[in-house]
Structure 1
Amino acid sequence: MTYQGVLTKMATEFSHPIQYFLIFENDFINMNQLLDKTISIQFVGYQCLNCALDKPIFRQGFCKSCFFEIPQAADWIMRPELSTAHLDQEDRDLDYEKRVQLQPHVVYLANSSNVKVGVTRKSQVPTRWIDQGAHEAIEIVEVPNRYLAGITEVALKAFVADKTNWRTMLKNEIVDENLVEWRDRLRASIPDEAAEYYIASNQETHIDFPVLKYPEKPKSLSLIKTPNYQGVLKGIKGQYLLFEDDTVFNIRSNEGFIVALTVH
């Protein structure tokens, strides 16, 4: 059976373990059902997630011109402290920026390779944690806009990491942490503007991933260098497919690539 379509990040369903779905225009694949099966991935071409043209993907699934023009790829996406919609100030598209920035956001701690701080829209909990491959997470504050979440994250980065080591995460070399204690320790470092939004009574969320075998020395598959790959799927964690030969394929970093996926 062969499926073909444009890669976008896998949809997820919170269960034990997490259920993963690869969604193409005309196909819908439950990836959990492919565990222990041999699959092939063939690079077919590009399709920008914004303009839909066959142009090389630059970043985040967008071609270069779209990446530097559309609001979905503006700097405040990666650096929420740069948000300005709460001041009624436009960056690229004020209507879009108000829709996204002026809604409840969460600053959280997640443990994937180590404890890290992050920001997401409240509507993306726990999806954001699943996508990062976190096996445990907890909210610290819930604020009414993206700017307040951003300045809180910046303040807490002085005391806790804000990056994940993807190799450590995929090898599952992780240590359980008491995130309630971490949350309480960091409370004093929350900026005054966000202090009233501190969450004092929540507990950790625990996440189980569908993995039969973790890679010992993960090596990342590049469809540009290796346009045809075949392997036995052994697990899914974060947005990565994990194969028996220690090859790992990051769906998220290959958004906008057209692929043919064959199940043998």
Structure 2
Amino acid sequence: MTYQGVLTKMETEFAEPIQYYLVFENDFLNINQLIGKTIGIQFVKYQCLNCGLDKPIYRQGFDKQCFYDIPQAADWIMRPELSTAHLDKEDRDLAYEKKVQLQPHIVYLANSSNVKVGVTRKSQVPTRWIDQGAHEAIEIVEVPNRYLAGITEVALKNYVADKTNWRKMLKNDIEDENLIAWRERLKSYIPEEAKDYFIETNTETHIEFPVNQYPEKPKSLNLKKTPSYTGKLVGIKGQYLIFEDQTVFNIRANEGLVVDITIS
């Protein structure tokens, strides 16, 4: 059976284990049900997630022109400390920026390959942690806008990592950490503007991923270089499909690519 559609990040359902869904325009697949099956992935063409044109994808599922024009790809997306909507100051589209930036945001600690600090909208908890492949996470600050979350992250990343080692995460080369102790350790480094938003009492969230076999030496599939691949699916973690031959495929990094997916 073959399905065709443009790749967007897998939708997830918080369960034990996490349930993953690949959603196309006219179909969707519960990827958990494909574990143990042989899957073929064939690159067909590009389809920018903004304009829909068959133009090479530049970043985040967008072609180069769209990436530099639309508010969904502005610098404050990756660097929340650059947010300016709270000042009524436009970057690319003030209405969009107010909608996204002026809502509750969480600064969190997540352990995927190591303990890292991150920022997400409150509405994206625990989705953000799942997408990063974190097996445990905890909220440490809840603020009313993206800017405050951003400056808090900038301050804390002087004392804790802000990046995930994807290879270590996929190898499951991880250690459990006491995130409550980490939260207390970092409390004094929170900026004055955000100190009142510190979360004094909460517990860790633990996440179980559907993986039968972790790769010892994960090798990333790049459809632009290798447009056709077939392998046996053995697990899903973060936004990665894990195959028996140690190939891993990052769905999020391939957004905007139209593919044929064949299941046998």
Question: Following the alignment from structure 2 to structure 1, what is the Cα–Cα distance between the partners of residues 135 and 213?
Answer: 16
Question: Following the alignment from structure 1 to structure 2, what is the Cα–Cα distance between the partners of residues 2 and 63?
Answer: 27
Aligned position for 1:66: 66
- 1:21 CA drift (Å): 0.1
Question: Following the alignment from structure 1 to structure 2, what is the Cα–Cα distance between the partners of residues 35 and 170?
Answer: 16
Amino acid at match of 1:174: I
Where do residues 96-111 of structure 1 align in structure 2 (5 Å cutoff)? 96-111=96-111
**How far does the alpha carbon of each residue in 1:194-226 deviate from its partner, in whole angstroms, 9 at most, with x for none?**
000000100000000000000010000000111
Where do residues 221-260 of structure 1 align in structure 2 (5 Å cutoff)? 221-260=221-260
Aligned position for 1:155: 155
- 1:132 CA drift (Å): 0.1
Question: Following the alignment from structure 2 to structure 1, what is the Cα–Cα distance between the partners of residues 253 and 19?
Answer: 20
Which SS does the other structure have where 1:68 is aligned? helix
Aligned position for 1:26: 26
Question: Following the alignment from structure 1 to structure 2, what is the Cα–Cα distance between the partners of residues 182 and 250?
Answer: 29
Aligned position for 1:88: 88
Question: Following the alignment from structure 2 to structure 1, what is the Cα–Cα distance between the partners of residues 211 and 43?
Answer: 25
Aligned position for 2:145: 145
Question: Following the alignment from structure 1 to structure 2, what is the Cα–Cα distance between the partners of residues 69 and 35?
Answer: 39
Q: How many equivalent residue pairs?
A: 264
TM-score, normalised to structure 2, is: 1.00
Question: Following the alignment from structure 2 to structure 1, what is the Cα–Cα distance between the partners of residues 54 and 9?
Answer: 19
- What runs of 5+ residues in structure 1 fail to find an aligned partner? none
**How far does the alpha carbon of each residue in 1:149-192 deviate from its partner, in whole angstroms, 9 at most, with x for none?**
00000000010000000000000000000000000110000000
The answer to whether 1:199 aligns with 2:188 is: no
Aligned position for 1:126: 126
Between the two proteins, what is the percent identity of the paired residues? 78
The answer to whether 1:208 aligns with 2:211 is: no
- Superposition RMSD on alpha carbons, in Å? 0.3
Which SS does the other structure have where 2:209 is aligned? coil
Aligned position for 2:189: 189
Which SS does the other structure have where 2:69 is aligned? coil
Question: Following the alignment from structure 1 to structure 2, what is the Cα–Cα distance between the partners of residues 225 and 96?
Answer: 35
Question: Following the alignment from structure 1 to structure 2, what is the Cα–Cα distance between the partners of residues 150 and 224?
Answer: 33
| Segments ≥4 residues shifted beyond 6 Å | none
Which SS does the other structure have where 2:32 is aligned? helix
Question: Following the alignment from structure 1 to structure 2, what is the Cα–Cα distance between the partners of residues 94 and 226?
Answer: 40
The answer to whether 1:169 aligns with 2:198 is: no
Amino acid at match of 1:142: E
TM-score, normalised to structure 1, is: 1.00
Question: Following the alignment from structure 1 to structure 2, what is the Cα–Cα distance between the partners of residues 50 and 227?
Answer: 23
Aligned position for 1:52: 52
Question: Following the alignment from structure 1 to structure 2, what is the Cα–Cα distance between the partners of residues 200 and 190?
Answer: 13
Which SS does the other structure have where 1:41 is aligned? strand
- 1:251 CA drift (Å): 0.1
Question: Following the alignment from structure 2 to structure 1, what is the Cα–Cα distance between the partners of residues 139 and 158?
Answer: 18
Which SS does the other structure have where 1:120 is aligned? strand
Aligned position for 1:261: 261
- 1:230 CA drift (Å): 0.2
- What runs of 5+ residues in structure 2 fail to find an aligned partner? none
Question: Following the alignment from structure 2 to structure 1, what is the Cα–Cα distance between the partners of residues 139 and 218?
Answer: 30
Question: Following the alignment from structure 1 to structure 2, what is the Cα–Cα distance between the partners of residues 120 and 191?
Answer: 18
**How far does the alpha carbon of each residue in 1:22-73 deviate from its partner, in whole angstroms, 9 at most, with x for none?**
0000111000000000000000000000000000000000000000000000
Which SS does the other structure have where 1:158 is aligned? coil
Aligned position for 2:219: 219
Question: Following the alignment from structure 2 to structure 1, what is the Cα–Cα distance between the partners of residues 88 and 256?
Answer: 32
Amino acid at match of 1:50: N
Aligned position for 1:76: 76
**How far does the alpha carbon of each residue in 1:93-140 deviate from its partner, in whole angstroms, 9 at most, with x for none?**
000000000000000000000000000000000000000000000001
